[in-house]
Amino acid sequence: MSEATTVPDVRLEEVVKEFGDVRAVDGISLEVPRGSFFALLGPSGCGKTTTLRMIGGFEEATSGRIFLGDRDVVGLPPYKRDVNTVFQSYALFPHMTVADNVAFGLHRKGIAKGEARSRVAEILELVDLGGRENRKPRQLSGGQQQRVALARAIVCNPRVLLLDEPLGALDLKLRKQMQLELKRIQNEVGITFVHVTHDQEEAMTMADTIAVMNNGRIEQLGTPAELYERPRTAFVAGFLGKSNLLDGTIAGDGLVRLADGSELRVHTNGTSGPVSVGVRPEKISLANGGVNRLTGRVKESAYIGVATELVVATTVGELTVFHQNVEAGGVAPGIGSDVTLSWAPEATFVVDPGDRADRADRGEEQAI
């Protein structure tokens, strides 16, 4: 690989941002590889927008360094950075046509009219707006306006595109459709996207890499599958999908002992002492085939179409189980039934018990 392709498009080193006595961003370091789709994911107030705004130059870091490629951009105004931003409010010029909105940046850069026209046509095809060049923004739907904003941001071919909750104003169905569209567009243009969202499903659908943020820090950074299958903290386990977390203690290599003395085989990651041991609801089967087993009684049952969501009370706490409705007419065990729950050691993870309090504080305690 050549030197140029190994330099990340965005690099943050120990970046801090304070607003008075609020530490919005508390020492973030990360790298965004060239051409990738990167998501900053976290709850409201975790510092993701501030991080994005510092990359764009709309906010100055209190300390730390920010690089775009190998250029240190701290102190540079937004227009001197090779980035463009798409905001939730599309900020289109209402009196201009779609084509003129998209061409705006090209004209400012002094690109010749003929070339600008063909670039605009090409980019409007890409965002599926061919034939709508002469409409005004108010003659378009919300989703179409967002595509114009996207086209306008990528037409000048920036090194990095920053997206600040760009789908937030769209209804759920359109948002899901646009998630796949955005991913396709990013693939086609190959520009690095840095996307801010509080929606875990959105981040998982689109991003190659996700940085999960909490209280101004990165809790964990990885691919969607890594974060989901191997969360390293209770916060990550609870923020991406549902998790069951049980109190236990490491009792040996790959072994956790629960409060009632029963043992579970796990990936211990070299941890020792007290832990929370986790398993996802869909990894639990209502049969005794798996190595890890608990018995309990069904306390709640909710039919949700693809699955029946059961809450099973065991001696070590309540577990949520998704019983897949695989067979037509298949029935899940009813309330009051005694069941054996089992799952594989590979589906079992351990996290530090220390951050369980934090999870409960936020009212996000799940199945225990």
Query: Which residues of this chain interact with ligand ATP, rule CB under 6 A?
Result: 19, 22, 24, 42, 44-50, 198
How far apart are CB 168 and ligand ATP at their closest, in Å? 9
Please answer whether residues 83 and 55 qualify as being in contact, where contact means their C-beta atoms are separated by less than 8 angstroms. Answer: yes
How far apart are CB 48 and ligand ATP at their closest, in Å? 4
The nearer residue to ligand ATP, 45 or 333, going by C-beta atoms, is: 45
Please answer whether residues 137 and 98 qualify as being in contact, where contact means their C-beta atoms are separated by less than 8 angstroms. Answer: yes
Phi, psi of 11 (to 5 degrees): -140, 125
How far apart are CB 165 and ligand ATP at their closest, in Å? 7
Q: Name the helix (H) or strand (E) containing 97.
A: none
How far apart are CB 46 and ligand ATP at their closest, in Å? 4
How far apart are CB 363 and ligand ATP at their closest, in Å? 17
Distance CA 189, CA 150 (A): 12
The nearer residue to ligand ATP, 59 or 282, going by C-beta atoms, is: 59
Residue with tokens 């996700």: 210
Distance CA 51, CA 325 (A): 42
The nearer residue to ligand ATP, 198 or 283, going by C-beta atoms, is: 198
How far apart are CB 37 and ligand ATP at their closest, in Å? 19
Please answer whether residues 287 and 345 qualify as being in contact, where contact means their C-beta atoms are separated by less than 8 angstroms. Answer: no
- SS3 call for 325: coil
Q: How many CB atoms lie within 10 A of CB 288?
A: 11
> Looking at this protein, which amino acid is placed at residue 117?
R
The nearer residue to ligand ATP, 59 or 181, going by C-beta atoms, is: 59
Q: Name the helix (H) or strand (E) containing 310.
A: strand 307-314
Query: DSSP assignment, residue 88?
Result: S
Distance CA 85, CA 65 (A): 20
How far apart are CB 175 and ligand ATP at their closest, in Å? 16
Distance CA 39, CA 244 (A): 25
The nearer residue to ligand ATP, 63 or 288, going by C-beta atoms, is: 63
Q: Which residues pair with 11 in a beta bridge?
A: 31, 67
The nearer residue to ligand ATP, 50 or 366, going by C-beta atoms, is: 50
The nearer residue to ligand ATP, 9 or 165, going by C-beta atoms, is: 165
